[in-house]
Each structure stands twice: as structure tokens, then as C-alpha cells.
Structure 1
Amino acid sequence: MTDQPFDDEPPEHLRYRRYLQDLEEVSEADEVALVVTVLNDPDKSMGEAAVNRHLERRAARLLTDPAFTAWAQTLTTVIGDRPFLARRMREWTLLRAIALDEPWTAEELTTGSDWFQRTAAIELAATSREALALLAERGRTHRVRNAASRRLQSASTPARPAP
């Protein structure tokens, strides 16, 4: 038995952790090259999973920042025809539109993935009453409908004055 905790760990697991660390620390100037490297890993699923985690972290930080648009366009080109990552980037762009009160459609909201609807209703704390009402009525899951309903109720309940 060895003292090294990861000796029996498959190499793709080690690469995944290293990729996540590298993607967390990457500069804007080096981001595209690193994402390309990760996506070209022999284990395609692992590479896409690492890039997805990166997209989640970076998109959440940039969501309402003007830099989001150029970043998303660049990463969309890098992602190319990888269906899951392309959809996730479209959904982040839609979350941005909702957060900034930019145009979006009911169909985009109601046909979004479970992840997208959950993020819009629960985690993103969407401020759009219209989006929340639509999710409360037509969200894909009971969890999304309930969360959106609760958020609507709390948004319409006046704050109580301090004693």
C-alpha cells in the first residue's frame, strides 16, 4: 500500500482535475487555446465535462458584464458542433437576456433544459416576473414550478417594517 491517494486513479480522472484547475486559473488571453486542448483530449466525454464546468463558472461571473457577449461568441466558435456544449452556451446567453431584461421568447424558456429552467428559477434569481410566471405555470418539473411560484410570491409580498 502506498501513501499516494491517487495511485490507482485512472489517468483521465487525473487529467480532469488538472484541466479544471488550469481552466480556473487561465488568463483571458490563453483561454481559447486551453479550451481547445481540453476538447481535443482522447476522452471526449471527460474533455467536454471539464469545459462545461468552465463555462458554468465563467458564464456565471460574466453574466451581466458587457464582456459576456464577445466571450460567448468566441467560445461558441471553439465549441463548434458539440451538441451539449452548444446548447449550454445558448442557454447561458438566454439567461443573460432574461437577467438584463433583453428580448427572449416563451418558447425559448419553456423548451429549455431542466438545468436551464432550474437555474433561471432557483439559482439565478431571475428578476423577470414574466419569466418566473411562465416557469411557475409551464416549468418542466414540479421543483421548477414550485420554486418559480415561491419567488413570485416573495417578490410581491411587501417587506415588513423593522420593529
Structure 2
Amino acid sequence: MANQVEPKLIKPLFDELQKERFVTLATVDHETGGPNVSAISWVLAKDEDTVYFAVDNRSRIIENIKTNDKAVINLIANESTYSISGTAGVKQEKLEGVPLKLALVEIKISEVRDVMFYGSKIVAEPQYDKTYDKDAAARLDKQVMDAMRKA
């Protein structure tokens, strides 16, 4: 059913956010004041009220969040599309236990909205493939997800 609004993650979404997956992230651009959308994959629901994600600590996303803490994650799951809105902040400038300089960002959820257009459902979720060394990618993904779980 479209246009449902919740104050926190529902169980199917929480479960989907326990593993690396494709989502888009919208922030307010620190230079233009307009929308900025990025695709990210290192995302984890810490609990029903909090989502973590990791990005390069030199990313434009970090500067955007430091200037304006509003953020939205767009998640395609549970046969629908969801907008997960909240306030974001850098929890760790450098995520521990990871060889890259990744920042850990925390979003405190204020609203989860089903934004799928009326009378429809998602029949296939987005998929992606890593284009670099598969073993190295799997090792790094595990390190990042483990570090986020420990944070």
C-alpha cells in the first residue's frame, strides 16, 4: 500500500539494511543549496531509529552534512520504494579497522515514507557488480560492515 508513513524502520526494511546494498542518498549541496544525490552501498541499520553509512571522508557528502544535517536515503525493498529521512552527522571521521579513510555517518530517522506511486509494486530490485578484484572487494566490504556493526 503506497504512502504509508512511519516514525522508524519497519522490520522488513531493518532486515534489508543488515547487509551491503544499493541505496541513493540525498543531501543539500553545501555550495549551491540545491539537492545532491549519490549512490552508496555501505549502509547498515544500527537499530529501528538509526542508519549508519560509510563514505570516503573527503566526499562531498561529508561537507554537505556538516553544512546542513538533513538527509534522505532512498531504499528499494519490500516490493516498494522508501524515503528514510532524518538528521545526519559524522559519528567517526575515520572508521576504525578499515584500510581506507572512510567516515562513519549516522542518520537519526525522523520519518520513513513509502513513496511508491499508487497501484504499483517493484518486481526487481537494482543489482550491481563490483568491477575490481572480487576477492579484494569482498574483504573490504566485510571489513567495512564489521566496523560499522562495532561502532
Q: TM-score band (shorter)?
A: under 0.3
The structure whose RCO (Cα within 8 Å, separation 6+) is larger is 2
Structure having the larger proportion of residues in strand? 2
TM-score, normalised by the number of residues in structure 2: 0.24
Structure having the larger proportion of residues in helix? 1
Q: Which has the larger radius of gyration?
A: 1
